[in-house]
Amino acid sequence: MNATLGWTQLALYLGLLILITKPLGLYLLQVLDANGRTWLDPILKPLERLTYRLGGVDPGKEQHWKHYTISMLIFSLITMLVTYVILRMQAILPLQHLFNPQGFPAVPDHLSFNTAMSFTTNTNWQSYSGESTMSYFSQMVALASQNFFSAAVGIAIAAALVRGIARDSMQTIGNFWVDLVRITYYLLLPICLVYAIFLVSQGMIQNFKPYDAAALTEKETIQVQKTDASGNPVKDAKGNPVMVPQVVDTQSIPEGPMASQMAIKMLGTNGGGYTNANASHPFENPTPFSNFIQMLSIFSIGSALTYYLGRMVKNPGHGWSVWAAMTFLFLTGFFVCWHYETVGNPILTQLGVDPADGNMEGKEVRFGITNSALFATITTDASCGAVNCMHDSLTPLGGLVPLFNIELGEVVFGGVGAGLYGMLVFVITAVFIAGLMVGRTPEYLGKKIQSFEVKMSMLVLLVLAMDILGFTAWACVSDWGKAGLNNNGPHGFSEMLYAYSSVTGNNGSAFAGLTASTYWYDTTLAVGMFIGRFLMIIPIMAIAGSLAAKKLVPPGPGSFPVSGGTFTLLLIGTVLLVGALNFLPALTLGPVVEHFLMWSGKLF
């Protein structure tokens, strides 16, 4: 793809994103209001009422932040357990011929734990290959449902925080169950229904057929380990495995209910692929059009939530300022990634590869440099984690962008809900640090920012830094950590750093060189996901509760301005200074060193 086409597509992308922000934001205003009205009411209202009756929920009764949080934690725990149990039992559940035609065995315990945690926390880190591990039932019921639930939870938390900011001297911040039901019924399900049909129209599969086999036109001979009669590997005298040639003449083509799961994967910024190749697989991302719409859907709710924020706090300019800060960070990241991917690898150029192609290693040729760089930036700005190229194969600085995006806390539109509440932590920090400079004690939209809010905001940033840096430090000096590496040197370091950044940020993408399906990695990564999700949500909910209870002072010319260019720049500065500086030394030892070494002729 040439540069003009790239610029055109970027312009189209941004234009469409702006275009959907307001209408979707207006729709969110209705969805996130227990008494809101939507044009889907005639169909969904009875279902909504029925759900409340079955669940014993009084939709008119709001909750204190602690009850809201506890409800959320209980819900997450239950859905996580259900997911775990389904994965463990996928081989013995009824209707195996329909739901598990490949006859996949039970998912191992540490992998089930990791996966259940991963999907509950909206991370969708995958230590497995979907097409060779998960039954259709597991994909549809365990994983796809979690995609809906974890997305709804994220949006609910963001809505609760925004209500906390907007409310005046109130003890409650909404009802978790109502938010959960309304977000799922009115927002996620209807859009995904249409979206899935669109994906099918582009060629995505949606069926319950057993896997197909295709005869290869070019047979291939590979070396495999020789096994004895009982299935144990045979070893030679020196203890090395004995390898025997095997001819491969067919390829297994995965089938299954893909479109229904892939719609929410993108819309809910989950990112967990149906197949291991994720959005670079021709079934999961059949056309350039599907690629474009998938990228747009990743940012759509995150972008609309900024509009929701502005409207809720009666300062639309504030919402747009936050949106502008996000867009600035998004574009900067994309340009860096795009640039370094276009420049490519100088060592390959020396070997005679045409530099005009850029760095095509690990990329799906259907998408090329621009769409891969754009997708990689978007998927890590948001906590999506779907990929259409292999991040591990990006150039060092091209790969630094996704890593850096995640370490910022994925506040650039971010995970649905999570991006907004993460960004609001930075807003509060920015207001606190710079707010004094207008000669008043800091206040955000008429709410005083005091010790408690500062304590909780800093806790979020502390957890982010500790989770990422701490686990990486542990992994990089332990045998289990280094055993999983596919590359040594700074690139190996980046792989570990990326893994823990990805789980902490609930992103789920990987520098896939890392072999993470081991006991230690599965467990530490799962703990990392848990910390990165819930240990952040709890302080954020505490902020929501504390702000809701505060008196709202009407804004005046002396109030701290939270809209306009100055505020946008301040917010960008705060995200970069307070959020990112913490990771600079680690990034230097990873991608930055690798970059300089690559240009001096050394690869890893």
Query: Phi/psi at 235 (nearest 5 deg)?
Result: -120, 150
**Residues paired with 64 in a beta bridge:** 172
Site for other proteins contains 543 (CB under 8 A): no
Contact 70, 531 (CB under 8 A): no
Site for other proteins contains 198 (CB under 8 A): no
Site for other proteins contains 554 (CB under 8 A): yes
Site for other proteins contains 151 (CB under 8 A): no
Name the residue nearer to other proteins (CB basis): 256 or 442: 442
Site for other proteins contains 585 (CB under 8 A): yes
Stretch that binds other proteins, among 72-80, 284-292, 403-411, 437-445 (CB under 8 A): 437-445
- Count the neighbouring beta carbons within 10 Å of the beta carbon of residue 160: 29
Interacting positions 446-465 with other proteins (CB under 8 A)? 446, 449-451, 454-455, 458-459, 461-462, 465
- The gap between the terminal CA atoms of the chain, to the nearest Å, is 28
Helix (H, G, I), strand (E, B) or coil at 363: strand
Site for other proteins contains 586 (CB under 8 A): yes
Shortest CB 321 distance to other proteins, Å = 12
Site for other proteins contains 438 (CB under 8 A): yes
Site for other proteins contains 4 (CB under 8 A): no
Site string for other proteins, 279-318 (x = CB under 8 A): ----------------------------------------
Q: How far apart are CA 157 and CA 152, in angstroms?
A: 9
**Residues paired with 603 in a beta bridge:** none
Site for other proteins contains 466 (CB under 8 A): yes
Type of residue found at 49: R
Shortest CB 428 distance to other proteins, Å = 11
Site for other proteins contains 170 (CB under 8 A): no
Closest C-alpha to 445, from 312, 354, 349: 312
Site for other proteins contains 521 (CB under 8 A): no
Site for other proteins contains 582 (CB under 8 A): yes
Shortest CB 166 distance to other proteins, Å = 14
Q: How far apart are CA 278 and CA 236, in angstroms?
A: 38
Site for other proteins contains 566 (CB under 8 A): yes
Stretch that binds other proteins, among 41-49, 208-216, 407-415, 545-553 (CB under 8 A): 545-553
Site for other proteins contains 603 (CB under 8 A): no
> Looking only at Cα atoms, what is the longest distance across the chain?
84
DSSP string, 12-50: HHHHHHHHHHHHHHHHHHHHTSTT---TTHHHHHHHHHH
Q: Which residue has the tokens 């011929």?
A: 97
Name the residue nearer to other proteins (CB basis): 240 or 600: 600
The bridge status of strand 443-444 relative to strand 212-225 is unpaired
Q: Which residue has the tokens 């606190």?
A: 432
Shortest CB 580 distance to other proteins, Å = 10
Q: How far apart are CA 346 and CA 342, in angstroms?
A: 11
Site for other proteins contains 178 (CB under 8 A): no
Site for other proteins contains 435 (CB under 8 A): yes
Geometric angle at alpha carbon 92, from 87 and 93, rounded to 5°: 75
Instruction: Cite the beta strand spans of 210-366 per DSSP E.
Output: 212-225, 243-253
Name the residue nearer to other proteins (CB basis): 387 or 592: 592
Site string for other proteins, 357-396 (x = CB under 8 A): ----------------------------------------
Name the residue nearer to other proteins (CB basis): 91 or 466: 466
Site for other proteins contains 553 (CB under 8 A): yes
Q: Which residue has the tokens 């350039």?
A: 288
Site for other proteins contains 245 (CB under 8 A): no
Site string for other proteins, 469-508 (x = CB under 8 A): xx-xxx-xx----x------xx--x---------------
Size of the site for other proteins (CB under 8 A): 66
Site for other proteins contains 145 (CB under 8 A): no
Contact 247, 219 (CB under 8 A): yes
Q: How far apart are CA 319 and CA 101, in angstroms?
A: 49
Q: How far apart are CA 267 and CA 296, in angstroms?
A: 9
Q: Which of 47, 50, 483, 577 is the binder for other proteins (CB under 8 A)?
A: 577
Tokens of 270: 């989950």
Q: How far apart are CA 249 and CA 214, in angstroms?
A: 8
DSSP 257: B
Site for other proteins contains 124 (CB under 8 A): no
> 462 CB contacts (<8 Å, ≥6 apart)?
none
Shortest CB 475 distance to other proteins, Å = 9
What CA–CA distances, in Å, run from 192 to 195, 203, 446?
Answer: 5, 16, 38
What residue ranges bind other proteins (CB under 8 A)?
429, 432-442, 446, 449-451, 454-455, 458-459, 461-462, 465-466, 469-470, 472-474, 476-477, 482, 489-490, 493, 551-554, 556-561, 564, 566-567, 569-570, 573, 577-578, 581-582, 584-586, 588-589, 592-593, 596-597, 599-600
